[in-house]
Amino acid sequence: MRVTRGIPAAANSPVALTIGNFDGVHLGHRAMLDELARAARRLNVPACVMIFEPQPREFFAPDKAPARLTSLREKLSWLEAAGVNHVHVCRFNYAFAQIAAQDFIERVLVRGLGVKWLQVGDDFRFGSRRAGDFVMLKQEAPRLGFEVQALPSVMVEGIRVSSTAVRDALAAGDLAKAARYLGRAYSISGRVVRGDQLGRTLGFPTANVQMKRNCAPLAGIFAVEVSGAAAGVVRGAASLGVRPTVKAQGAAPVLEVYLFDFNQEIYGQQLRVDFLHKLRDEAKYADLDTLKRQIALDVQNAKTYFTAKAQRRKGNAKKTYP
């Protein structure tokens, strides 16, 4: 997949395009990407996506912007897995925000990107003061030589799938609901870096997974599955939060994973941590001995979760295949 920064002055070839933040690349986004791929094949053009960095809400109100579901690297990885050929990472700044809606269509979409087919969400707005919308695109498309369509909302259990819905589920600790909206378990990826070695001191050495974000969409203690540490998936217990027992208030969140039955050096490796079940919220303990006892209990509870999960799966298999 090709990734470029900014918008060229003139396109080299026509494209099928969809636009959005694609935070989380959830089922609603996947429906857009599937439709994009079909249009690209029909027109024999590349399937392209335009995303914004930073995301508009992060630019206009950084203190009030919601926690990202995916980093830029994670987002690009999910887009590539969905079959996207080219991603334009557009820098969102004051100058870009001031582009008039008509100019955005003619200069950015048509001249800069060569759009021949365009898909946007049914609530898509663009241009200065958010003056542009789907109706405007529909009116201009015949004159400028491109097709345009809106994708209706994707619903799961009567709820519109959105990045906000995923965040709400994660914040509530309902990882199963978040997974239904995402079409997969929620995950965080990052490189293993050296931490303060506290877990090793307590008898539970952890992989400290680097998070290039100051705010996470979930917090607590979790049962997880980890890819990238070994040939297969490794199960474990993870702590994601500010570690109130050992850190001062206002500390950045840290993701630490204790891998079951694992004793390999993995500093520098890229891991993906899939969050399957929330065990509890973070808590502040009186001393390290109390914290150590709680970690041991968390590990046991995570193992119990995986045992119960395997038994349910086995029971379902018997019902399906008598």
User: Is residue 4 scored above 80 in pLDDT?
Assistant: yes
Higher-confidence position of 106 and 151:
106
By the 8 A CB rule, do 69 and 187 touch? no
pLDDT at residue number 319: 61
Q: What is the predicted pLDDT for the residue at 224?
A: 98
Q: What is the mean pLDDT of residues 279-295?
A: 92
* Low-confidence winner among 34-48, 146-160, 239-253 (lowest mean pLDDT): 239-253
What are the backbone angles phi and psi of residue 85, rounded to the nearest 5°? -90, -35
pLDDT interval class at 19 (50, 70, 90): very high
Is 185-320 the same fold as 2-156? no
CA angle in degrees (0–180, nearest 5) for 127-70-68: 65
Percentages helix, strand, coil for the chain (3-state, rounded to 5) are: 35, 25, 40
278 φ, ψ (degrees, to nearest 5): -90, 125
Whether residue 306 contacts residue 225, with contact meaning beta carbons closer than 8 Å, is answered with no
Q: Determine the number of helices (DSSP H) and then strands (DSSP E) in the chain.
A: 10, 14
pTM as predicted: 0.92
Given a contact cutoff of 8 angstroms between Cβ atoms, the answer to whether 185 and 170 are in contact is no
- pLDDT above 90 (res 147): yes
The pLDDT mean for the chain works out to: 92
Report pLDDT digits (tens) over 212-270.
777 899 999 999 999 998 878 999 999 999 888 877 666 788 999 999 999 888 999 99
302-303-307-309 Cα dihedral, nearest 10 degrees = 20
| DSSP string for residues in 56-117 | HHHHH-TTTPPPPSS-HHHHHHHHHHTT--EEEEEE--HHHHT--HHHIIIIIIIIIT-EEE
Mean pLDDT of 4-29: 94
CB 153 within 8 A of CB 163: no
Inter-residue contact 222 to 255 (CB < 8 Å): no
pLDDT band at 310 (very low <50, low <70, confident <90, very high): confident
pLDDT value at position 196?
78
Neighbours of 198 (CB within 10 A): 17
**Which residues are paired to 186 by β-bridges?**
275
User: C-alpha distances in angstroms, 5 versus 40, 116, 182?
Assistant: 21, 21, 27
Confidence of residue 195 (pLDDT cuts 50, 70, 90): confident
Which one, of 166, 159, 108, lies nearest residue 137 by Cα? 108
Give residue 268's pLDDT: 93
Q: What whole-number distance in Å separates Cα of residue 125 and Cα of residue 122? A: 9
Residue 189 pLDDT greater than 70, yes or no: yes
Residue 316: exposure state from Cβ atoms within 10 A (0-12, 13-18, ≥19): exposed
Rg of the chain (C-alpha set): 22
Q: Which pLDDT belongs to residue 301?
A: 97
Closest by alpha carbon to 235, among 257, 259, 203? 259
199/58: higher pLDDT: 58
Mean pLDDT of 68-85: 95
Q: Which residue is associated with the tokens 């636009």?
A: 19
Please, is 12 exposed, middle or buried when counting C-beta atoms within 10 Å of its C-beta (0-12, 13-18, 19+)? exposed
- Tokens representing 83? 């079959």
The pLDDT of residue 63: 86
pLDDT for 21 equals 92
Question: Which residue type is seen at 71?
Answer: S
Between these two residues, 138 and 322, which has the higher pLDDT value?
A: 138
In the prediction, which pLDDT does 248 show?
62
Asked whether residue 164 carries a pLDDT value surpassing 90, the answer given is yes
pLDDT of residue 158: 94
Q: What is the reported pLDDT for 314?
A: 75
Domain boundaries, the chain: 2-156, 185-320
> Which CATH superfamily hosts domain 185-320?
Riboflavin kinase-like (2.40.30.30)
37: left (phi over 0), alpha (psi -120 to 50) or beta: alpha
Domain topology for 2-156? Rossmann fold (3.40.50)
Q: Among 189, 207, 187, which residue's Cα sits nearest to residue 197?
A: 207
Q: What pLDDT band is residue 123 in, cutting at 50, 70 and 90?
A: confident
Q: Is the pLDDT of residue 70 over 80?
A: yes
